[in-house]
């Protein structure tokens, strides 16, 4: 056996993960190499810590949670709106804005077999989510006489399909050199006993590391470097699954610059206190997003002097950062959150187990966990019907599904 094998063997023995090499002899030479590389690159200490945390339900420290200040876009007086827009428009026209679309998710809830961005929500144009987003960038390019670089984050699972889709559609007529794909990181999945799973091929089962993986992926894939070369100062980061996402918004840029902050986020008013969304807040004096699962009931119903929810600014994954703040964030590792999911795997008898119920943990970083590293953040409240049409579930669920997104999109287009 080679020295790489001996090294890998030592590691798996140290961490009680010997089963990972059970089927080594049966693998092809290529796969043997791949498995050893996987073992040598995984941070087993971190995997162990994450599993221990799940077991011990580590106590959360007492945080001081306070409402966050925001500006309501629909209520800004026209003079101030023009002032902010002029600042933002200047940045866009000078070619200092880039857009990042995070499209590495699994789209499990939608139940579509393929990258979510290739999904057609049923518009008469039959356009995919990718094309709808591309349309909005093309419109902005024309308006401001620039070409905004569009960075698309994919994952190991969907990168090839995504790139092939763009090729087959001739990049929707967008200048090809301004569409840049980059892959997010991955993390091994573990079972309820903390054992790392093997996939159907006998390799380590890995899953995308969550949308919070975007910062480190931008660093590792030299996206930050590329942006510097292109003279980019501001970056909009959003998801692929909001049909009404406004990636190019001068008001948001103007607000961040005017407030002298390194990041800004958009919010929509929480529909009702129990709505399952995270909301912007200040946590221990820093901007943050509190998940609905962490929010005590009395807090979720509290109202301010205007009769509005005190914690009512829903986070919609529409955020703007300056390049320096992304550089800073990308140097630190964000916390990983466990998610209990269904995962097919190869068991110790060499049989493939098809999961019908959640049976394993995957670990995800959340984009908004990085907000606490920022001193301050500007929040712009926008109208749900103008900027938020998520595609999360299948139509059978009836909410945040292709049907609701299609209706919102059509209404918006008709009233524009």
What is the binding site for ligand UTP (CB under 6 A)?
A: 102-109, 116, 153, 155, 184, 208, 210-211, 239-241, 317
Indicate the residue whose CB is closest to ligand UTP. Answer: 105
Query: Shortest approach of ligand UTP to residue 398 CB, angstroms?
Result: 16
Residue whose CB is less far from ligand UTP, 21 or 326? 326
Residue whose CB is less far from ligand UTP, 2 or 108? 108
Query: Shortest approach of ligand UTP to residue 239 CB, angstroms?
Result: 3
Query: Shortest approach of ligand UTP to residue 166 CB, angstroms?
Result: 16
Residue whose CB is less far from ligand UTP, 88 or 105? 105
Query: Shortest approach of ligand UTP to residue 118 CB, angstroms?
Result: 12
- Angle value at C-alpha 95, between 127 and 280, nearest 5 degrees: 70
**How many Å apart are CA 406 and CA 244, to the nearest integer?**
10
**How many Å apart are CA 92 and CA 236, to the nearest integer?**
12
Residue whose CB is less far from ligand UTP, 85 or 241? 241
Query: Shortest approach of ligand UTP to residue 396 CB, angstroms?
Result: 14
As given in the structure block, the two tokens for residue 29 are 């030479």
Residue whose CB is less far from ligand UTP, 153 or 204? 153
Beta bridge partner(s), residue 204? 198
Residue whose CB is less far from ligand UTP, 186 or 195? 186
Residue whose CB is less far from ligand UTP, 105 or 265? 105
Query: Shortest approach of ligand UTP to residue 357 CB, angstroms?
Result: 16
Q: Which residues does 108 contact at the CB level (< 8 Å), separation at least 6?
A: 341
Per-residue DSSP letters for 144-206? HTS---EEEEE-TTTHHHHHHHHHHTGGGGS-GGGEEEEE--EEE-EETTSPBPB-TTSSBPE
Residue linked to tokens 């200490």: 45
Query: Shortest approach of ligand UTP to residue 243 CB, angstroms?
Result: 12
**How many Å apart are CA 327 and CA 170, to the nearest integer?**
32
Query: Shortest approach of ligand UTP to residue 216 CB, angstroms?
Result: 12
Query: Shortest approach of ligand UTP to residue 388 CB, angstroms?
Result: 13
Nearest to 163 by CA among 147, 148, 182: 182
- Cβ atoms within 10 Å of 108's Cβ, excluding its own: 12
- Angle value at C-alpha 362, between 361 and 365, nearest 5 degrees: 135
Buried residues in 163-188 as b, exposed as e (16+ CB within 10 A):
eebbeebebbebeeebbbebbbbbbb
Residue whose CB is less far from ligand UTP, 53 or 106? 106
Residue whose CB is less far from ligand UTP, 40 or 399? 399
**How many Å apart are CA 181 and CA 162, to the nearest integer?**
9
């Amino acid at each position: 056996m080679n020295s790489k094998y001996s090294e890998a063997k030592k590691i798996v023995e140290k961490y009680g993960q010997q089963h990972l090499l059970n089927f080594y002899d049966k693998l092809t030479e290529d796969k043997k190499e791949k498995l050893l590389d996987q073992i040598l690159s995984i941070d087993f200490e971190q995997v162990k810590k994450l599993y221990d945390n799940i077991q011990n339900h580590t106590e959360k420290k007492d945080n001081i949670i306070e409402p966050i200040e925001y500006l309501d876009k629909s209520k800004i007086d026209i003079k101030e709106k023009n002032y902010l827009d002029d600042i933002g428009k200047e940045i866009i026209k000078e070619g200092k804005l880039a857009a990042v679309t995070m499209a590495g998710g699994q789209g499990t809830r939608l139940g579509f077999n393929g990258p979510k961005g290739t999904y057609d929500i049923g518009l008469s144009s039959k356009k995919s989510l990718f094309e709808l987003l591309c349309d909005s960038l093309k419109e902005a390019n024309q308006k401001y006489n620039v070409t905004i670089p569009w960075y698309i984050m994919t994952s190991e699972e969907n990168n090839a399909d995504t790139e092939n889709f763009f090729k087959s559609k001739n990049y929707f007529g967008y200048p090809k050199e301004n569409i840049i794909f980059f892959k997010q990181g991955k993390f091994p999945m573990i079972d309820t006993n903390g054992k790392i799973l093997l996939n159907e091929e006998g390799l380590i089962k890995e899953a995308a590391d969550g949308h919070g993986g975007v910062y480190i992926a931008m660093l590792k894939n030299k996206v930050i470097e590329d942006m510097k070369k292109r003279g980019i100062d501001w970056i909009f980061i959003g998801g692929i699954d909001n049909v009404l996402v406004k990636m190019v918004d001068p008001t948001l840029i103007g607000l961040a610059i005017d407030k002298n902050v390194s990041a800004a986020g958009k919010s929509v008013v929480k529909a009702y206190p129990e709505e399952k969304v995270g909301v912007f807040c200040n946590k221990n004096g820093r901007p943050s997003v509190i998940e609905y699962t962490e929010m005590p009931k009395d807090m979720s119903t509290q109202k301010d002097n205007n009769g509005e929810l005190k914690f009512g600014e829903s986070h919609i994954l529409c955020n703007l950062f300056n390049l320096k703040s992304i550089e800073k964030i990308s140097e630190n590792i964000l916390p990983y959150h466990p998610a209990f999911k269904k995962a097919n795997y190869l068991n110790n008898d060499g049989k493939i187990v098809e999961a019908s119920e959640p049976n394993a943990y995957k670990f995800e970083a959340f984009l908004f966990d990085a907000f606490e590293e920022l001193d301050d953040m500007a929040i712009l409240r926008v109208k749900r019907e103008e900027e938020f049409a998520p595609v999360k579930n299948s139509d059978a669920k009836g909410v945040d599904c292709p049907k609701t997104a299609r209706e919102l999109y059509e209404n918006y287009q008709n009233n524009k």
